[in-house]
């Protein structure tokens, strides 16, 4: 079984496009003490125009959830409305959580950003992999392909076993082959690299990636409604369903075999969560950017948010972009398993982030996501005091690892 796309082309194009001019209105700040603002009035017109099954969004600051809203239906063929407590599949937005897990283990001394594949898997790997450090895997600089071969995927699924056992098999077999690209010579988006990283932390801790995520990320951050795979209960419509394009609108994907990529691909993209839980994760990153040491050391946050070199397009777990409205550099990611789409945009220097989700993945999502991002940036700006949040001084780009593996 070949891994379905965790970041389709249409979604990746969102990373390269600037939102339109916002024409920010002059409005007084909102009353945050009353709870998160309702974004329904922003979301509903875009949902009606796009005719997607559902849309959800949130605005996040260091203080947590500033605004939230959802609209639409859980299933195109049903009448059950989505709610703000519903769970959404994040696809490759999982990668930022995997990188954050590694950061926690770095702070604990379990490994370092420089821990190499050869340090963990020893002589079984091809010589060209041995000196590839963890940070290259998490920053798409390792030389790993997007995915290892389809034959290897099929063999992994057919042999069965736990997700951890399947990952170890997949990684050990894949690492017997030379990297397709010389490590640290170019950035190549790689799901396989994150599976290698996941298998490394499992080997070092003798604990599954799933259990590590619960212990080191979900529980400390209060993410009580976060899990793995497609959300919901088979036979019930208690959560949104993913969708594909059908002959008459959208076709819901029933829960069961084929509703997600294999569980073994978890470190690259199988987490589901609520908007509120996702906001807790993102708020931790915003606070970390301002030096909050309560979850990670300040230097560790800096490493998560800083590319390892001028030509790197990624930090560990995030895509790097530049936007004037964000005050310069921002972090972003999109994720999809071809049935759902999620996007996170973190304007670190402006102390806010925007989260957008839908229960379909298709070219039709591109325009509403772009328009919704613009509308939410404007909405946030309209509710920020005129002096705005404190903007930290830009940090120099540092490279804590060797620039090239020979």
Provide the residue ranges of all domains of the chain, joining segments of one domain with +.
Answer: 9-92+228-288+301-306+331-382
Is the CB of residue 61 less than 8 Å from the CB of residue 286? yes
How far is 262 from 247, CA to CA, in rounded Å?
Answer: 27
Q: Give the per-residue pLDDT at 8.
A: 39
How far is 384 from 370, CA to CA, in rounded Å?
Answer: 22
Q: Give the per-residue pLDDT at 33.
A: 57
CATH topology of domain 9-92+228-288+301-306+331-382: Beta-lactamase (3.40.710)
* 71: nearest Cα among 60, 57, 59, 61: 57
- Backbone angle region of 363, left / alpha / beta, with phi > 0 → left and psi within -120 to 50 → alpha: alpha
How far is 14 from 307, CA to CA, in rounded Å?
Answer: 20
Q: What is the pLDDT along the chain (406 residues), one digit of tens a residue?
A: 335 555 433 334 343 343 333 222 233 233 345 789 999 999 999 999 999 999 999 999 999 999 999 999 999 999 999 999 999 999 999 999 999 999 999 999 999 999 999 999 998 899 999 999 999 999 999 999 988 888 888 899 899 999 999 999 999 999 999 998 999 999 999 999 999 999 999 999 999 999 999 999 999 999 999 999 999 999 999 999 999 998 888 999 999 999 999 999 999 999 999 999 999 999 999 999 999 999 999 999 999 999 988 888 999 999 999 999 999 999 999 999 999 999 999 999 999 999 999 999 999 999 999 999 999 999 999 998 865 454 444 443 333 332 223 2
Phi–psi pair at 346, nearest 5 degrees: -110, 110
Q: Give the per-residue pLDDT at 6.
A: 53
Helix (H, G, I), strand (E, B) or coil at 48: helix
pTM over 0.85: yes
Q: Give the per-residue pLDDT at 393.
A: 42
Q: Give the per-residue pLDDT at 149.
A: 84
Contacts of 376 (CB under 8 A, 6+ apart): 39, 42, 57, 59, 67, 354, 356
Alpha helices by DSSP H, 66-206: 94-108, 117-121, 134-138, 150-159, 163-174, 191-205
Angle at 355 between CA 341 and CA 236, to 5 degrees: 50
């Amino acid at each position: 079984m070949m891994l379905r796309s965790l970041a389709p082309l249409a979604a990746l194009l969102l990373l390269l496009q600037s939102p339109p001019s916002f024409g920010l209105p002059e409005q007084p700040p909102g009353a945050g003490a009353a709870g998160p603002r309702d974004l329904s009035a922003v979301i509903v017109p875009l949902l009606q125009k796009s005719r997607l099954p559902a849309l959800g969004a949130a605005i996040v600051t260091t203080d947590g959830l500033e605004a939230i809203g959802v609209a639409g239906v859980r299933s195109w063929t049903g009448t059950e409305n989505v709610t703000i407590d519903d769970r959404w599949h994040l696809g490759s937005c999982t990668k930022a959580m995997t990188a954050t897990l590694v950061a926690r283990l770095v702070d604990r001394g379990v490994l370092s950003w420089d821990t190499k594949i050869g340090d963990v898997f020893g002589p079984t790997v091809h010589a060209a992999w041995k000196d590839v450090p963890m940070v290259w895997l998490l920053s798409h600089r390792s030389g790993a392909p997007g995915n290892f071969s389809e034959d290897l995927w099929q063999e992994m699924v057919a042999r069965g076993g736990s997700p951890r056992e399947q990952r170890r098999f997949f990684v050990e077999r894949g690492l017997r082959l030379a990297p397709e690209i010389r490590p640290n010579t170019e950035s190549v988006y790689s799901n396989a690299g994150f599976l290698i990283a996941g298998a490394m932390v499992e080997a070092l801790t003798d604990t599954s990636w799933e259990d590590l995520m619960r212990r080191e990320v979900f529980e400390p951050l209060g993410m009580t409604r976060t899990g793995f795979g497609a959300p919901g209960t088979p036979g019930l419509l208690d959560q949104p369903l993913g969708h594909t394009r059908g002959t008459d609108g959208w076709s819901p994907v029933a829960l069961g075999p084929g509703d997600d990529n294999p569980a073994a691909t978890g470190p690259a993209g199988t987490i589901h969560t609520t908007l509120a839980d996702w906001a807790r994760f993102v708020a931790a990153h915003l606070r970390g950017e301002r030096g909050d040491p309560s979850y990670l050391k300040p230097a560790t946050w800096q490493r998560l948010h800083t590319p390892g070199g001028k030509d790197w397009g990624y930090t560990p777990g995030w895509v790097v972009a530049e936007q004037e409205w964000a005050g310069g550099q921002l972090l972003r990611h999109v994720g999809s398993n071809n049935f759902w789409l999620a996007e996170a945009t973190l304007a670190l220097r402006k102390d806010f982030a925007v989260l957008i989700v839908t229960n379909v993945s298709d070219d039709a999502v591109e325009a509403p996501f772009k328009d919704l991002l613009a509308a939410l940036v404007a909405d946030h700006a309209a509710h920020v005091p005129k002096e705005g949040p404190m903007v930290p001084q830009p940090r120099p780009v540092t490279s804590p690892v060797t620039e090239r593996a020979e």
